[in-house]
Structure 1
Amino acid sequence: MIHELAARAGVTSRTLRHYDRIGLVAPTRVGANGYRYYGPDAVVRLQRVLLMRRLGMGLSAIAQVLSEEVDQEQGLVDHVAELEAERDRIDRRIRSVRHTLEALRSGAEPHMDVMLDGFNDRFEDEVVARWGEKAFRAGHDWWHGKSLEEQRAWKQEVDDLVAAWVDTHRSGAGPVSERAQAMAARHVEWLSGIPGTPTAEGDRERSIAMVRGLGDLYVDDPAFTGTYDGPEGAAFVRDALHEYARTAM
């Protein structure tokens, strides 16, 4: 009956009557006494209306979606995907705020990129385009599952890796030298510690493509060019990685 359904759905009887009037959710049957009865199909439809309302859709847009839909089961699958995506966004924001709180409690100054994670991720589109949504999600969850101190330690490891590359380049060693190839092996081992990457998953062909692609990125992206001691240093890292991918992977 309408009062029982309204109570369970967290809406009012008036809302359900309104949904009936505009063709969103009709009762399964109306008794001779005027009571409205809702069967399983009607409840499923109400659930979908409420889900779309929670996602911010207006009633007219919801009506259009439902009227154009052919497969109700597929519609539910789509809803699950939307809700999971929303849950992931909320989880990211929770982690972001927790990191900010942790930084403030420890007396550290919270960094903007940590504070705003979950609200904007500048690398998402690029990672998804190159290696897929699964790789981005695995790496993202791994990174933001770390404490602030663990993140700092990992960033220090990256700084040490970059510094070692710069020292190797400045030493005059060539890209195919033993020292440069040892650096390339260290670089690939570092990549293997990042969940979601082909190297972490042991996918040889994609790992080779990834290592070569990163080498190219270090040269093509001005941000990395500066990181690796200018254009010559970036080209040195690229050539060493390409050689390692060709001969050792």
Structure 2
Amino acid sequence: MARVSSRALRHYHQIGLLQPSWTAHNGYRYYEQAELLKLQRILLLRELGIGLETIAEVLDGQTDEYRALQAHHRWVLAERDRMSQLARTLESTMAAMHEGAEMSAAEMFDGFGKNPYAEEAIERWGKAAMDRAKASWTAMGETGRQSAADELIAVNELLAECQKEGRAADDPKLQSVIERHYRWIRLSWTPEADGYLNLGQMYVDDERFRAYYEKAGVNPEYLLAGMKVYAAKQL
């Protein structure tokens, strides 16, 4: 009914996320109302992009679920509005094609490339900073943007490697990776120490960023610890 595989349920059981009401002698797991409600919450949080480790904290009451849901609610609403605009653009395109009319380029691509985080970013850093970042990103061109995306993937892989190796925050190898991370940030914005650390704290506090880094195999707290050392020494 929940479209959840038995494999996923076994995994949730093994990591202590969702225990069955009881398990029969033949190994079948049985779930009652309380477990179904908990599963519903797990699936909702997964749909919002939250990692299993963070979901466990939410369900254990260690994380403010309401604040986490508020952030994701804003993102979902922004995505809804963006997709609605894209639907209207496609409808206009189809109507113009049917009538043999022409559309301007601005009309044809209305709604594409809009950033659902833009309004929130403006609240955090101001419109001027957002405009500068957008201008820098646009000036890079398609090739430059692809190169930047590849660099971020490489940085994340190195961060995950350092974390797996147990390297301390001030370890030279980790600090060289943090240096690359800072250079990547500077492609669109040049933060001073406070701004860089505020960004790192957002990686920890914002469930969307946490889910992104956890998926890449990086604990946001580990990244922030490295950023703190780098900011103290270099910024």
Normalising to structure 2: TM-score of the pair? 0.48
Greater relative contact order (Cα < 8 A, sep 6+): 2
Compute the TM-score of the two structures, normalised by the length of structure 1: 0.45
